[in-house]
Structure 1
Amino acid sequence: MQKIILTLVLATLCLNFTANAQDKTTNINALKIGDIIPEAIWNMPLLVVNHPQGKKTITLNDYKGKLIILDFWDKYCGSCIAAMPRMAALQKQFEKELIIINVTTDRAEDAKKCLTTNKMLEPLNLSSVVEAKVLSQAFPHRTIPHYIWINKNKIFISQAAAGAILPMNVTKILRDSLPDWQEKVDIDTKKPLFLGDKVPSNVELTSYSIFIKGRVSGLFTGNGVTYGVSPQRDVFYSNQPLSIIYQRLAAKLIPHMGDEKIILELPKEDDFSDQGKRYTFQYVAPANQATFLFQNALSALNMASGYNGRIESRKTKYYTLIRTGNDDRLKSKGGEPVNRFDKDSSVLINCPLRFFIIHLNGDNLLGSFVLDKTGYTGKVDIILKNPLADVSSLNKELAAYGLLLATADEPVNRFVIYKYSSVSNTYHQKQ
């Protein structure tokens, strides 16, 4: 079982702490591990698309006597789709004893389109239960993929993590032996991680920080916000490489940075950039410190991670967007806003010029970041017919709008990572 290291920093507790209850729209009760599947669910007709025999509905009872794995997915879940070929191979390996049923709450037409047009899924000829609100209520979950194991005796035996979907574990289940695996813990990200309802109801959690080393099953991979208030009070990065977490924070502190790489001043053998290692970090600021949220979050991350990320002025080659004259050739003529940047063309209609800068920096298209020195604050119309990666071609088109991308080579704020030694209280410089 993967080792998970938790570092908790709990601050003052006072007043009230509230949480949102999960909405329930029907009388279907959530099932627990060990429950026998109720007859109402076992025999319920389930709408299905792309069935190999052309069926419009199936029931769980159609597969009685088999091990059933319900694979919850949706069309936007990249990790769900990426896992489906492996699941299909597992199904083929145990086709007489196992049935894997794909389940989604997506509309029938949307699910079918994904199954039949996605380049990864189309060759697999997969079917799926669709519009499955009842199954989602019977087996509630916050993240997908989500796997429900039901044995041949109709018992809900596990919601094991994705890493447990292995041939050896299927074999053990078929032999009536429960594998030693990690159950997926469905974590409510609208509450402070791993505290949930443990905070007494008569107090308020005013500040909180947690740093986790290791992938947490039950958490999505990405960014989130726990407190839906303004101004923003928390940052939350889950199941991501440490370098990406620092990158995301750096982009908040240095807006022009975009995906410009952070500077690493680390020993050669350091594994800071290892994309295989995953971390989760959450920081909740006191309400009166929301203005300094990202600065304080960085301090908390530095304290927990063993690294020190900071802003330094470094001489850097970059681009500045400037105006070449005083005549206004940018002003929008109005109309429906369009903000579209494709591989070979770009259209910006009735939008701020900063959208153009954000796109250039977000994809690091020019190999370095761009600073907006135009001072232009109005809405603009810009239509570019060539790829954005070629500065020379781009400048030829920008000239029609009185714009120019100029090169610069001067000190500018950059984000730098050092290895911090708590023993010597010094930074390890790159050798």
Structure 2
Amino acid sequence: MLITCLFCLGMSAYAQENRHLRLGDTVPNIKLAHMINFPTATSTLSNFTNKLLILDFWDVGCLPCIAGFPKMEKLQQLFPKYIRILLVTKSSAEDVRKLFLHSAIARNCTLPMAIADSNLSSLFAYQTVPAYAWIDKNGVLNHFTGTPFYLKEEFIKQFIDGKKLNMPLKDEYGNFNCFESLLTEGGGRNLSNVSYYSMITHGINFDGQFGLPLVDFKTGRRLGIHMLNQSRVNLFLSAYTDSLPSNGFTRLENRVILNLADSINYQQYDQHYLDDHWKQDNIFCYEARLPPERMHLLYKVMQRDLCLYFDVKVRIEKRIKPCLVLKALNPINPTFKIRSKGGKQHLTLPYQTDSLIMGNTNFGQLIFAVELLFNSTNGSRQILLNETAIDPSTPVDIRIVKNVKDLTNFRKQLQVFGLDLVPEQKSINVLILSH
């Protein structure tokens, strides 16, 4: 019975993805309905044959894609007799027009562009950009990848000379259900009677990272934990979250000390999000399901699994660290100056404008905003602690405007509302990983 289910799953998956081109397929002569930087407003793919054709799939919201346009132009100039480069986007003509208004790089690009595309893009299995298709002079798809690493003079020469390039394949599912168990995703095996398991896999071809409870959709009862495309450090942080209290703050990477020779493998996804080679080796999924009477052991199981699989020892130690501590100036009545007066809910976060405006919005959004400002991917990565004792669901009114990323200015305005974000040396728990 199990063998039959596996066979059906494979056939079903192939049928769903069969419309996508595979390496070695001949690319059909697709019509390109909206052209820019080209002699005619429309074209067909046959106008780009008889040379190596590199399709650069991009989007108006992909800053790394747009930043790469000058590099692509330089390659076209270096090899005018041997390659053609076509920039392809699903973005609408209006969105591209708006991009040109504020991006000199996009506006000044001279490469031909196929915009508002649906025909050509639908042939390739991708959900994220950038993506690059290498089609030889005979119209055969040789490579489809998500890494710009091979867009270099040396690799172009190797390809022209007939040498093989070992590019990682980009092959992303367009219909992956991130909320379903990895063991049943795709309508596969009949494992509904399983009451306990734990598993670790390498990253999956799916657009996103998730850390969610595993839930029975019929009853709403929690069954376990379900984490997709996470770095090693994020997995350990999830397993030991109860040992690193922060009272609402979630980014805890700066509370990890790595005593490891291979520490680069424990870096964060956002440091390597364009490096497909690194992601293939260092992004993982974890899933565990326990019976209800054992659910309290869930994180103990996860700790055991991670330490065994990665051959790592973990200990929790107290260390003196510089922190930013969110405090109430009046501990007896901490919400005296911020408790909402009611009215319509309104929230403006500092990544939208240079301000933080909360009207009848829960206090947890302030914690989120502080983390966004002082412990985000592009921020200062401060260790943040919350000592306000304010319930995150408490509705509050807060207004902080202008230069909110400056800590001194942020504190001055926050103090008006009976709160402060105080730099202090604190003895806190840290997670130490060693072999």
Name the TM tier (shorter chain): 0.7 to 0.9
Maintained 8 Å contact 1:251/1:257: no
Q: Does 1:111 align with 2:96?
A: yes
What is the distance in 1 between the residues matched to 2:229 and 2:257?
21
What is the distance in 2 between the residues matched to 1:28 and 1:305?
36
Instruction: Tell me the number of residue pairs that the alignment of Structure 1 and Structure 2 aligns.
Output: 395
Structure 1's unaligned 5+ residue stretches are 1-12, 421-431
**Alpha-carbon displacement from aligned partner over 1:93-138 (angstroms, at most 9, x marks no partner):** 2223311111122222213433563355444344422232222322
Instruction: Kindly provide the amino acid, as one letter, of the partner of residue 337 in structure 2.
Output: R
Give the deviation of 1:311 after TM superposition.
4.3
Q: Does 1:330 align with 2:338?
A: yes
Counterpart secondary structure, 1:341: coil
RMSD, aligned α-carbons: 4.5
Give the deviation of 1:355 after TM superposition.
1.3
Same amino acid, percent of matched pairs: 20
What is the distance in 2 between the residues matched to 1:392 and 1:157?
55
Q: How does 1:373-392 map to 2 (within 5 A)?
A: 373-376=388-391, 377-388=393-404
Counterpart secondary structure, 2:359: strand
Maintained 8 Å contact 1:250/1:415: no
**What is the TM-score of this pair, normalised by structure 1?**
0.72
Give the deviation of 1:248 after TM superposition.
7.0
Give the deviation of 1:383 after TM superposition.
0.7
Q: Which of the two has greater helix per residue?
A: 2
Question: In 2 relative to 1, CA 119–284 (structure 1 residues): closer, same or farther, beyond 3 Å?
Answer: farther
Maintained 8 Å contact 1:47/1:56: yes
Give the deviation of 1:401 after TM superposition.
2.2
Instruction: Kindly provide the amino acid, as one letter, of the partner of residue 201 in structure 1.
Output: R
Counterpart secondary structure, 1:381: strand
Give the deviation of 1:268 after TM superposition.
8.3
Instruction: Kindly provide the amino acid, as one letter, of the partner of residue 414 in structure 2.
Output: L
Q: How does 1:311-350 map to 2 (within 5 A)?
A: 311-316=316-321, 318=323, 319-324=325-330, 326=333, 328-332=336-340, 333-341=342-350, 344-350=354-360
Give the deviation of 1:246 after TM superposition.
4.8
What is the distance in 1 between the residues matched to 2:151 and 2:260?
38
1:147 alignment partner in structure 2: 132
Q: How does 1:29-428 map to 2 (within 5 A)?
A: 29-38=19-28, 42=29, 44-48=31-35, 50-53=36-39, 55-114=40-99, 117-118=102-103, 120-160=105-145, 162=147, 163-175=149-161, 177=162, 179-188=164-173, 190=177, 201-203=189-191, 207-210=197-200, 212=202, 222-223=209-210, 231=222, 233-237=225-229, 242-243=232-233, 246=236, 254=245, 255-256=248-249, 258-259=251-252, 261-264=254-257, 266=259, 278=279, 279-286=282-289, 288=291, 296-316=301-321, 318=323, 319-324=325-330, 326=333, 328-332=336-340, 333-341=342-350, 344-362=354-372, 363-364=374-375, 367-376=382-391, 377-388=393-404, 393-405=409-421, 411-412=427-428, 414-420=429-435
**Alpha-carbon displacement from aligned partner over 1:8-63 (angstroms, at most 9, x marks no partner):** xxxxx99x9998978999x994333333333xxx1524323x4254x432211222
Counterpart secondary structure, 2:31: coil
Question: In 2 relative to 1, CA 298–126 (structure 1 residues): closer, same or farther, beyond 3 Å?
Answer: farther
Question: In 2 relative to 1, CA 70–249 (structure 1 residues): closer, same or farther, beyond 3 Å?
Answer: farther
Moved more, 242-251 or 67-76: 242-251
Maintained 8 Å contact 2:338/2:397: yes
Instruction: Kindly provide the amino acid, as one letter, of the partner of residue 226 in structure 2.
Output: D
What is the distance in 1 between the residues matched to 2:22 and 2:229?
29
Instruction: Kindly provide the amino acid, as one letter, of the partner of residue 137 in structure 1.
Output: S
Question: In 2 relative to 1, CA 243–125 (structure 1 residues): closer, same or farther, beyond 3 Å?
Answer: farther
Instruction: Kindly provide the amino acid, as one letter, of the partner of residue 369 in structure 2.
Output: H
What is the distance in 2 between the residues matched to 1:303 and 1:382?
47
Instruction: Kindly provide the amino acid, as one letter, of the partner of residue 382 in structure 1.
Output: I
Give the deviation of 1:234 after TM superposition.
0.9
Moved more, 194-203 or 71-80: 194-203
What is the distance in 2 between the residues matched to 1:329 and 1:190?
44
Maintained 8 Å contact 1:247/1:262: no
What is the distance in 1 between the residues matched to 2:214 and 2:112?
38
1:427 alignment partner in structure 2: none
Counterpart secondary structure, 1:62: helix
Question: In 2 relative to 1, CA 173–271 (structure 1 residues): closer, same or farther, beyond 3 Å?
Answer: closer
**What is the TM-score of this pair, normalised by structure 2?**
0.72
Instruction: Kindly provide the amino acid, as one letter, of the partner of residue 72 in structure 1.
Output: F
